[in-house]
């Protein structure tokens, strides 16, 4: 089985694509997707979703950090928490 190791200091990816009259934003590192009426709105929603998910992750840290599907998200959520505001979290997305 191939294994990909990604440096946790790398930024999060925001892939924004048009789809049936809206824009869909995906973050593959966190398995998040959202949509908006414009690319900027889709990115804003994705950032909000990442912040909300980070808060939930930290509230349920013992459960999520041991989950095979979610354990790899921890370094990103620590960075999101460190950034603190939506404007600075935006800097994590490329």
Q: Can you list the domains of the chain with their CATH numbers?
A: 15-92 (3.30.160.620)
Please state the pTM of the whole predicted model. Answer: 0.85
- For strand 32-36 and strand 15-19, is the pairing parallel, antiparallel, or unpaired? unpaired
**Sorting pLDDT into bands at 50, 70 and 90, what band is 7?**
low
Q: What pLDDT is attached to residue 65? A: 86
User: Pseudo-torsion of CA 81, 85, 86, 90, nearest 10°?
Assistant: -70
pLDDT, tens digit (0-9, with 9 covering 90-100), for 41-83: 999 999 999 999 999 999 999 998 899 999 989 999 999 999 9
**Is 3 a residue whose pLDDT tops 70?**
no
């Amino acid at each position: 089985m191939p294994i990909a190791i990604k440096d946790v200091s790398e930024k999060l990816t925001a892939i924004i694509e048009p789809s049936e009259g809206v824009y869909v934003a995906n973050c593959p590192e966190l398995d998040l997707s959202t949509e908006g009426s414009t690319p900027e709105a889709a990115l804003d929603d994705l950032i909000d979703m990442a912040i909300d998910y980070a808060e939930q992750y930290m509230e349920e840290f013992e459960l999520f950090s041991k989950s095979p599907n979610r354990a790899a998200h921890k370094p990103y959520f620590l960075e999101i928490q460190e950034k603190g505001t939506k404007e600075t979290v935006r800097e994590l997305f490329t």
